[in-house]
Structure 1
């Protein structure tokens, strides 16, 4: 369970072949760099850019190229190749330096953030179509109202720019196709005047295709959905972690007839149930509503109507009902497009239907920590492209289909806490060359037999084995796993002392749990764990843990207590230590 809790709860849309981060699609804008042409920069626009530069702070001298007469070759400036007019200004800080400094980390060298003021001299760039000031640090400056007068803008990105507030004048940008204010107020997002209380201006953006207001506090925006629903060209809508509470159950009319991506994850809706209008969003390819306090029956949505749906993320809500309703809905008629199905940590019941085998395009199936019962249908053998299979924490029983171990693309296999039957041997894993995370818990009728001399065909990042009889010796096949970062071997009947090679491997471990065994011996004076100042990555998952967790409780360790560098969590309870506490 711990592998799942540590990693899966912090999952960030795992598949590298999918669009980045949250599968967000962007509205494109064709820009022409004029460095190879002979376009001449207009004097008035050059002077406008220089006045804009003078209003900024630039500690790392990012705008050092802004000298001379040819502004069309300045860094971040793009001109129309025929007229020489400035049509694009891209000053996004795409390094991690600026963001990490805002986070409070000590980063060597000057900050790469642009700051200071945003000069209204930009208004003289009358042909400007593209403006990107994202990733900088304007230190709580009010978002300039005059931006709403840049009438030719098609692209505006203020992501993570530390600006406060959103002026309704942005509604004047009728040509705008792309608008991202994602976390634009960070780290001033706790200041009430940074909150957005009215979204009525959004309805005027008739050309908008992409809207990202994630991490913008919309808790006071009472009727936020209705103006957005007036945008027929909208393709991508991301409102992740916006402190939203209101979510309409039904709508008089569904107008977002181009919508392909919808994320409402990380909110805390008090309307509780899956909205009925989702059945009308037939163009949706990705639906993300994780961690949003959604309740009520899964059958509220007519899943069979969503014939384009590829990715469905409903993890960690309170959704109830029979799981067969969603599986059968997604597998009816021509609707077999689903590739990712995440329903973990809900209150779903019922049994997996045979129609599960119709979802032949599925690459990730995560239904863990529900109340799903019955046996795993034999039709699962048809899901040969599975990369993630997470069935843990249910009430599944019966034999585990052998066909699962023919899924050669599997990277995650999670089988903990069920009532399965059978005996897994090392031969079962012979074809799982891509496996990165393996989590299994044994029971009276479900065992795992692995010889010490086994050489696994995979290289794991995380292994979790609970209540499986591996002992009395430490499994020496662990030495072959050079990428292990999480090791959980609890209650696995190990009774020998920890071998020196295991302590040497600790330099790669972020999480080590050997609790509830009979391991003896003393603790070494020095054990090297990874640095606590490094974000650590496991497989397709990333976590923001900056420390090391060690649990050696309920064993027979003796001698002196030891404290090793870089640990943030240490459990040595129920051992035989003596002497003083260091």
Structure 2
């Protein structure tokens, strides 16, 4: 931005030198201040001058970041590529922000009324005390600039200030580990008599008594907006109600620890139009006095404990544009709730979120009167029946989520009238044999996300003509327990902009069309075709084959085979099909960013595990159980340091357990059961302290003593299965330090000696401690303790002791799992 200036006036030499001194204290890696040369500082980037006097009135050096990465990333990350997006953002931020020390030379700018240094990085420095001496300031924005320490009370001298934003990075988990600002006394705010906007989001209020900050804020009679999100506020002072804030239009108290009923004094804020109370511990019912809030347009009470009765709405709910009651305890008929709006001649509601409550009954036909709705979220309630025919009236609707209810009726043809619909989410309902036709879809020209997942097999049957071309271009398609097969549908092959594809248990067979794969491979991030009847060579998914011999020659992995490239693929799930042939050696070239690979339960995938898999450094989940993989499990896993889950069970692998698996220090689950492995359990696994499940059963030739480090370095275990091997010796006493253990099977080995008395410490086996999370990638449901069976009596003498002290631990194995 080039400042405004008079052609007849240049900035004074005093102000120019002041700005040069300010610049000299800063580090500027992106050269944002490169224009700060020459005599006329009014022409410098970020500087604005008075048109007549030429005096500097404004400094705006906020960091706009790159157009490729939004600052909103600070509130979360991309779960598909967390390592990539987070790294990219940090690098981008470091390249574009200003660093260094702020010079007191700014005091020479006597007419400075606006200062914006937001979204920079001042490395945890305190806010300069002399900012409180910039008497002409009307606008001060220091948000997200990595200041820390106590906010200086001298800011209270800025009696002309209209706008103050000191909000800071509250989401430390996903952004930089910065020290936040804090206050110990907020009385200094009383001096900001002209303040209209105050944002202290993320500033720690834990050392301030509620009466202190509430009395201070209550004196700001001109205040229009107050943002106090994530300030560690835990309570209110009932004697310090905001009685003087009659002009307040926006109040944000979200993401605090407020544990109380919704205060009655909120109803005194008669000018309020936006009220955010989300993510607190508010309880009880909505105050009846809320009917006084006649100007309320945005109300967010999500993630609290409010409910149990029908909510009390403002006297004129017809003005509400956003209503978010998600994740509360409302238990009322949905029809009764919607009747609260029945007197509206024109309903203004644009966003309605009732998700994760206990709204019951059918979705009423009165839904059709909410004609301005853009967003409707009914996820996770107790609704049944059909979508009403009136849903076709919601022609402005862009987002619809009806997931996780018990809907079991029909989807009307009027659904096809939602011409602005962008996202439709329909997971886990009780639909059964519902036919979806072209009429349901024909006008959905803007549809980008389309999901159908039912509790019943073939809950939806797609009856669409083979030559139909949809009007939409989907980016996300999720179909599960639907019937779209047996042939891969033509209408689906027209969807070439897909990024996230899940077609699990949809009855498709044969092969995946090569042309469709080649059209989507460059952008797809998720490809899940599990639980179908695909019958094709695995190489046809990875290799550009000779189209004249597309199937017959596809097993011949020639040295000059050209891989099909999936540069953005993160999740590949081909589980439980009829795929055959070896895993192509070009897999790393094809999918360099792959995080999850699931080829399990195809039974006909054979050959060795290619070495290229073992250099996929983003791979976190590797599932290839129940196939015919063979060859030696060679010790070359050192580059797979991000692995969380390894499941190679039920194959024909041989050799020793690779010691280099221990380099995957985040490993959570290791399943190698029913192979032909031999040797001892490698000591390197003790570096995998996060292991919750180890299953090495049925290898027959694993031997040696049971490792004592399992009870020392790997104490988080829930499941340990070493049955049907050749282990010898005794159970180490160190194993007593496994408080979370729920499944232990040591049967069919050559163990001897007595069981340690301290096995009473296995409280999870006795009490059923915890849940099934971590027991396996596919959760095992049988909890048992077994060290002896009918063919191994070496330690039978100690079982009598256990049956007295730990009777609930003895649950005999019924079948293999």
TM tier, shorter chain? Answer: 0.7 to 0.9
Per-residue CA distance 1:30-50 (angstroms, 9 max, x = gap): x99424643331333223222
1:496 touches 1:520 (CA, 8 Å); kept in 2? yes
Q: Which of 65, 90, 95 matches 2:65?
A: 95
Where in structure 2 are the equivalents of 1:506-517 lying within 5 Å? 506-517=521-532
1:363 is matched with which residue?
A: 374
Q: 1:335 to 1:294 in 2, by over 3 A?
A: farther
Q: Which of 237, 245, 257 matches 1:245?
A: 257
1:283 is matched with which residue?
A: 295
Q: 1:85 to 1:262 in 2, by over 3 A?
A: farther
Q: Does 1:175 align with 2:188?
A: no
Per-residue CA distance 1:317-338 (angstroms, 9 max, x = gap): 5554443454333453357211
Q: Which of 115, 122, 130 matches 2:99?
A: 115
2:414 touches 2:440 (CA, 8 Å); kept in 1? no
Per-residue CA distance 1:4-35 (angstroms, 9 max, x = gap): xxxxxxxxxxxxxxxxxxxxxxxxxxx99424
Measure the CA separation in 1 of the matches of 2:577 and 2:479.
17
Moved more, 70-79 or 142-151: 142-151
1:499 is matched with which residue?
A: 513
2:299 touches 2:324 (CA, 8 Å); kept in 1? yes
Which structure would you say has the larger RCO, counting Cα contacts within 8 Å and 6 or more residues apart?
A: 1
Where in structure 2 are the equivalents of 1:180-579 lying within 5 Å? 180-184=165-169, 190=177, 194-196=181-183, 199=186, 201-202=188-189, 204-218=191-205, 223=210, 228=217, 231=220, 233-241=222-230, 244-246=256-258, 248=260, 249-252=262-265, 254=267, 256-265=269-278, 267=279, 269-273=280-284, 276=287, 280-290=292-302, 292-297=303-308, 299-317=310-328, 319-333=330-344, 336-420=347-431, 422-441=434-453, 443=456, 446-504=460-518, 505-524=520-539, 525=542, 526-531=563-568, 548-561=570-583, 563=587, 564-576=591-603, 577-579=605-607
1:237 touches 1:261 (CA, 8 Å); kept in 2? no
Measure the CA separation in 1 of the matches of 2:387 and 2:187.
49
Q: 1:522 to 1:236 in 2, by over 3 A?
A: farther
1:144 is matched with which residue?
A: 128
Measure the CA separation in 1 of the matches of 2:277 and 2:176.
19
Pairwise CA distance, 1:94: 0.6
1:459 touches 1:482 (CA, 8 Å); kept in 2? yes
SS at match of 2:493: helix
Pairwise CA distance, 1:452: 3.9
Pairwise CA distance, 1:438: 1.1
2:3 touches 2:46 (CA, 8 Å); kept in 1? no
Pairwise CA distance, 1:446: 4.4
Q: Does 1:164 align with 2:148?
A: yes
Q: 1:486 to 1:226 in 2, by over 3 A?
A: farther
Q: 1:102 to 1:478 in 2, by over 3 A?
A: closer
Moved more, 256-265 or 508-517: 256-265
Q: 1:110 to 1:233 in 2, by over 3 A?
A: closer
Measure the CA separation in 2 of the matches of 1:170 and 1:307.
41
Pairwise CA distance, 1:287: 3.1
Measure the CA separation in 2 of the matches of 1:170 and 1:308.
38
Pairwise CA distance, 1:126: 2.5
Measure the CA separation in 1 of the matches of 2:93 and 2:203.
30
Structure 2 unaligned runs (5+)?
A: 74-83, 232-254, 543-562, 611-817
Pairwise CA distance, 1:65: 2.1
1:414 touches 1:440 (CA, 8 Å); kept in 2? yes
Measure the CA separation in 1 of the matches of 2:170 and 2:598.
39
1:298 touches 1:323 (CA, 8 Å); kept in 2? no
**Count of residue correspondences:** 534
1:155 touches 1:176 (CA, 8 Å); kept in 2? yes
Measure the CA separation in 2 of the matches of 1:209 and 1:103.
35
SS at match of 1:299: coil
2:498 touches 2:524 (CA, 8 Å); kept in 1? yes
1:362 touches 1:386 (CA, 8 Å); kept in 2? yes
Measure the CA separation in 1 of the matches of 2:152 and 2:60.
21
Moved more, 31-40 or 44-53: 31-40
Measure the CA separation in 2 of the matches of 1:334 and 1:203.
44
Measure the CA separation in 1 of the matches of 2:184 and 2:600.
51
2:803 is matched with which residue?
A: none
Measure the CA separation in 2 of the matches of 1:471 and 1:130.
64
Pairwise CA distance, 1:189: 7.0
Where in structure 2 are the equivalents of 1:66-105 lying within 5 Å? 66-96=36-66, 104-105=87-88
Q: 1:508 to 1:253 in 2, by over 3 A?
A: closer
Measure the CA separation in 2 of the matches of 1:282 and 1:450.
49
Measure the CA separation in 1 of the matches of 2:170 and 2:135.
24
SS at match of 1:142: coil
Moved more, 551-560 or 442-451: 442-451
2:413 touches 2:439 (CA, 8 Å); kept in 1? no
Measure the CA separation in 2 of the matches of 1:236 and 1:390.
32
Measure the CA separation in 1 of the matches of 2:504 and 2:267.
52
SS at match of 1:464: strand
SS at match of 2:571: strand
Measure the CA separation in 1 of the matches of 2:478 and 2:451.
4
Structure 1 unaligned runs (5+)?
A: 1-30, 532-546
Measure the CA separation in 1 of the matches of 2:148 and 2:7.
39
Normalised by the length of structure 1, the TM-score is 0.81
2:293 touches 2:315 (CA, 8 Å); kept in 1? no
The alignment's C-alpha RMSD in Å is 3.4
1:13 is matched with which residue?
A: none
Moved more, 343-352 or 250-259: 250-259
Moved more, 522-531 or 486-495: 522-531
Q: 1:127 to 1:314 in 2, by over 3 A?
A: farther
